[in-house]
Amino acid sequence: MDNGFKNIVDELKNTQSITKEQFVYILERGDKDDLEYLYAAAREVSEKVFHKEVYLRGLIEFSNYCKNDCYYCGIRCSNRKADRYRLTEEEILSCCDIGEKIGFKTFVLQSGEDPYFTDDRICDIVRAIKKAHPDCAVTLSIGEKTKESYKKYYDAGADRYLLRHETANEEHYSKLHPESMSGAYRKQCLFDLKEIGFQVGCGIMVGTPHQTVDNIYEDIVFMQELQPHMIGIGPFIPHQDTPFKDEPEGSVDRTLRLLAILRLLFPKVLLPATTALGTADALGREKGILAGANVMMPNLSPSNVRDKYLLYDGKICTGEEAAECNACLRGRVSRIGFTVADSRGDHPDFV
Ligand code: 5AD
Ligand code: FES
Tell me if 24 is assigned to some domain.
no
Tell me if 36 is assigned to some domain.
no
Q: Which atom of ligand 1 is nearest to the CA of 110?
A: 15
Q: Which ligand is nearest to the CA of 329?
A: 2
Tell me if 33 is assigned to some domain.
no
Tell me if 32 is assigned to some domain.
no
Dist CA 115 CA 337 (whole Å): 44
What's the CATH code of the domain at 76? 3.20.20.70
C-alpha 111 – ligand 1 centre gap (Å): 12
| Structural domain that includes position 156 | 51-343
298 CB less than 6 Å from ligand 2? yes
Beta pairing, strands 58-63 & 230-235 = unpaired
73 CB less than 6 Å from ligand 1? yes
Q: Which atom of ligand 1 is nearest to the CA of 312?
A: 10
Tell me if 149 is assigned to some domain.
yes
Per-residue pLDDT, averaged over 211-215, amounts to 98
Instruction: Give the strand order in the sheet containing 137-141.
Output: 58-63, 106-111, 137-141, 160-162, 199-206, 230-235
- Mean pLDDT of the chain, nearest integer: 97
**Residue 2 pLDDT level (bands cut at 50, 70, 90):** low
Tell me if 269 is assigned to some domain.
yes
Dist CA 292 CA 264 (whole Å): 8
Tell me if 40 is assigned to some domain.
no
What is the model's pLDDT at position 281?
A: 98
Q: Which atom of ligand 2 is nearest to the CA of 299?
A: 1
Per-residue pLDDT, averaged over 50-57, amounts to 98
**Segment 197-207, tens digit of pLDDT:** 999 999 999 99
Per-residue pLDDT, averaged over 315-344, amounts to 97
**Segment 9-22, tens digit of pLDDT:** 999 999 999 999 99
Q: Which ligand is nearest to the CA of 299?
A: 2
**Number of domains the chain is built from:** 1
Per-residue pLDDT, averaged over 324-340, amounts to 97
**Residue 57 pLDDT level (bands cut at 50, 70, 90):** very high
**Segment 136-158, tens digit of pLDDT:** 999 999 999 999 999 999 999 99
**Residue 1 pLDDT level (bands cut at 50, 70, 90):** low
To the nearest whole percent, how much of the chain has pLDDT over 90?
A: 99
Q: Which atom of ligand 2 is nearest to the CA of 317?
A: 1
Per-residue pLDDT, averaged over 241-248, amounts to 98
Tell me if 12 is assigned to some domain.
no
Pocket probe for ligand 1: among 57, 59, 73, 108, the residue whose CB has the most ligand atoms within 8 Å is: 73
What is the model's pLDDT at position 3?
A: 74
Predicted TM-score of the model (pTM):
0.98
